[in-house]
Amino acid sequence: MKKITLLKAFIYIALTVLVIICFVPFYMMIVNATRSNSEILQGFTLIPGSAILDNYQTLISYMDVWRGFTNSLIVAVSVTVLNAYFSALTAFALVVYEFKWKNIIFVSFLVMMMVPGQLGLLGLYDLSEALGMLDSYWPLIIPAIAAPFTVFFFRQYLITTMHTSILEAGRIDGATELHMFHRIVLPLLMPAIATMGIFTFIGSWNNYITPLVILRSPELFTLPVMMGALRGSPVAMNLGAMYLGIAISVVPIMIAFLFLSRYIISSITAGAIKG
Amino acid sequence: MEKTNRRAYLFIAPFVIVFLVFNIYPILLTFYYSLTNYSGMGGIANAEFVGFGNYIRLVTDSYFFEAFGNTLKIWGFNFVVQMMIALGLALLFSDIRLKLKGVGLFRALFYLPNIITIASVALLFNILLDWNHGALNQMLLSLGIIDSPINWLNSPVYAQSAVALIGAWMWFGNSFIILLAGISGISRDYYEAAYIDGASWWQSFTNITLPQLKPILLYVLITSIIGGLQLFDLPMLLTDTRGAPQGSLNTMVLYLYNQAFKYNNFGYGATLAYGLFIITVIFSAVTFRTMYRKEVK
Domain membership of residue A150 (yes or no) is yes
| Per-residue pLDDT band at B219 (split at 50, 70, 90) | confident
**pTM of this prediction?**
0.92
Asked if pLDDT for residue A72 goes beyond 80, the answer is: yes
Question: Would you call A208 and B233 a contact, using CB atoms and an 8 Å cutoff?
Answer: yes
pLDDT at B249: 96
Whole-number average pLDDT of chain A: 90
* Predicted local confidence at residue A261, as pLDDT: 85
- If one compares B185 and B254, the residue with the highest pLDDT of the two is B254
Which is more confident, B284 or A55? A55
Assess if residue A272 is contained within a domain.
no
Residues A162 and A209 in one domain: yes
Across the interface, whether the CB atoms of B14 and A145 are under 8 A apart is answered: yes
Looking at the DSSP bridge assignments, the partners of residue A115 are: none
- Residues A160, A89, single domain; the answer is yes
What confidence tier does A78 reach under pLDDT thresholds 50, 70, 90? very high
In B70-129, DSSP assigns E strands to none
For B163-183, what is each residue's pLDDT tens digit?
Answer: 999 999 999 999 999 999 999
Q: Are residues A221 and A243 in the same domain?
A: no
Between A115 and A141, residue with greater pLDDT: A141
In the structure, what pLDDT confidence band is assigned to residue A50 with cuts at 50, 70 and 90?
Answer: very high
pLDDT in tens, A188-213: 999 899 889 988 999 999 999 999 99
Domain co-membership, A143 together with A202 = yes
Q: What is the pLDDT of residues A233-251, one digit of tens each?
A: 888 889 999 999 999 999 9
What's the structural domain count of chain A?
Answer: 2
CB-based contact B11 A44, cutoff 8 Å: no
Q: Which of A246, A251, A257, A266 to mutate to test the interface with B (most CBs of B within 10 A)?
A: A246
Give how far B297 is from chain A: nearest CA, Å: 24
- Residues B223-238: pLDDT tens digits? 899 899 999 999 999 9
Same domain, A44 and A162: no
C-beta separation of B33 from B266 below 8 A: yes
Residue contact A178–B257, C-beta within 8 A: no
- A46 and A152 in a common domain: no
CATH number among 1.10.3720.10, 3.30.10.20, 3.30.200.20, 3.40.50.1820, domain B61-296: 1.10.3720.10
Evaluate if residue A115 carries a pLDDT over 60. Answer: yes
Instruction: Write the DSSP symbol of residue A185.
Output: I
**How much of chain A exceeds pLDDT 90, in percent?**
61
A34 contacts A54 by C-beta, under 8 angstroms: no
B109, closest residue in chain A (CA to CA): A19
A83 and A213 belong to one structural domain: yes
Q: Do B185 and A273 touch (CB under 8 A)?
A: yes
Q: Do A32 and A123 belong to one domain?
A: no
CB contact under 8 A, B230 and A275: no
| ipTM value | 0.90
Residues A11 and A85 reside in one and the same domain: no
With respect to residue A263, please indicate whether it lies within any of the assigned structural domains. Answer: no
pLDDT score of B297: 43
Q: Is the predicted pLDDT of residue B45 greater than 50, yes or no?
A: yes
Q: What does the pLDDT read at residue A271?
A: 62
- End residue of a domain, out of A203, A225, A247: A225
Residues of chain A contacting residue B260, judged by C-beta atoms under 8 Å apart: 122
Say how far apart CA A127 and CA A31 lie, in whole Å: 45
What pLDDT, in 10s, does the model give residues A119-167?
A: 999 999 999 999 999 999 999 999 999 999 899 889 989 988 888 788 8
B256 touches chain A (CB under 8 A): yes
Q: Is the pLDDT of residue B1 over 50?
A: no
For residue A77, the domain's CATH number is: 1.10.3720.10
Query: A109 pLDDT exceeds 80?
Result: no
Of the candidates B225, B73, B86, the residue with the CA atom closest to the CA atom of residue B161:
B73
Interface of A with B in 154-213 (CB under 8 A): 164, 177-178, 181, 202, 205-206, 208-209, 213
State residue B229's pLDDT score.
93
Does B81 or B2 have the greater pLDDT score?
B81
**Residue A62, number of CB atoms within 10 A of its CB:** 17
pLDDT grade, residue A275 (50/70/90)? very low
Regarding whether A107 and A29 lie in a shared domain, the answer is: no
Task: Say whether pLDDT at A117 is over 80.
Answer: no
- Give the structural domain span for A37: 1-62+233-257
| Residues A13 and A116 both lie in one domain | no
Q: Which of A126-130, B5-9, B46-50, B184-188 has the highest mean pLDDT?
A: A126-130
Are residues A58 and A70 located together in one domain of the fold? no
User: B30 and A122 in contact by Cβ < 8 A?
Assistant: yes
* H or E segment to which residue A84 belongs: helix A65-96
CB contacts under 8 A, A 109-148 vs B, are: 112, 114-127, 139, 142-143, 145-146, 148
Nearest to B115 among A90, A98, A257 (CB): A257
Position A275 in a domain: no
* Interface list for A 25-84 with B (CB within 8 A): 25, 28-29, 32, 40-41, 43-44
Cβ-defined contacts of B218-224 (< 8 Å, 24+): B218/B287, B218/B288, B218/B291, B218/B292, B219/A272, B219/A275, B219/B178, B220/A272, B220/B83, B220/B175, B220/B178, B220/B179, B221/B79, B221/B287, B221/B291, B222/B284, B222/B287, B222/B288, B224/B75, B224/B79, B224/B82, B224/B171, B224/B175
